[in-house]
Amino acid sequence: MTASAAALHPLAGVYSALVTPFHDDGRLDLDALQALAEFQLAQGLHGFYVGGSTGECFLQSPDERAQVLRAFTAAVRGRARTIAHVGAIGTHEAVALARVAADAGCDAISAIPPFYYDFSAAEVLAHYRALADATPLPLVVYNFPAKSARPLSTADLLALLQHPRIVGVKHTSQNLYQLERLRAAAPGAVLYNGFDEMFVGGLAMGADGGIGTTYNVMGGLFVQMMDALRRGDLARAQGLQKRANEVIDVLIEVGVFPGTKAMLKLLGVDCGACRPPFSPLSAAQQEAVERITASHLRALHVC
């Protein structure tokens, strides 16, 4: 089945991996979440992935993560779907955050595998099943091999998808072969492409949408890519991907998370800087961000 003909899963779409705003002194800036929500909703995004890697979740306390989930869900007010990333090294902490997400009205939860320790496959799968059992919300497994102590195999992922509340996978991997095999074996699952620079490739191999950092500043461009590919207009989708990748090249050069926040500020949405140990941009890096923002983001009318 082609991308243009495939039926959309209810949770399909283009989701911003949301940044977390901070004050200059490093405190959460919960008030800034409203402006951030409005800015991104105006780009036509289908939803938000709140509290993930882009949101600097592991530089926050559990209480701070809970505060962000509650405040952002209230800011969106049901106008788009929200997936709460509740991943943690410990099952009890992940379960506690999952219950916050359910109480706040999120549409789904997601979690990276427990990390650092050399957990066995059985332990990782048991962690996910305990998390899925903890709330009525659907669960999306965050498959990120580069950041996992024990990468999830295709067999692991398919075993997890047998659980009635484990409904999909956020596939942050260059292994598009694995993505296609998941799609073939689990046609009812929702699959998200995770690397922004490969969005069109991920959709072509069966993804139902994407979750990405750069959607914070050019989410509308990715919505256009998805629409073009579903119409069967591959050339249009490839052209849009090329334009997005010119921005991504600069972000990779300066640091994706600090660079994204710098772009947001230039576009009128000040979310502060990233928490240490992330470093502020140098003068040269800031200049590069300003150039690409002026030449691409405003010109693309995605802001």
Are 165 and 138 in contact, with CB atoms under 8 Å apart? yes
Are 83 and 110 in contact, with CB atoms under 8 Å apart? yes
Active-site option among 15, 49, 128, 142: 142
Query: Does residue 192 carry a catalytic annotation?
Result: no
Tokens describing residue 33: 């979440």
Active-site option among 170, 192, 215, 261: 170
Query: Does residue 170 carry a catalytic annotation?
Result: yes
Match 């040269």 to its residue by tokens. Answer: 284
**For residue 105, how many other CB atoms are within 10 A of its CB?**
16
Active site residues: 142, 170
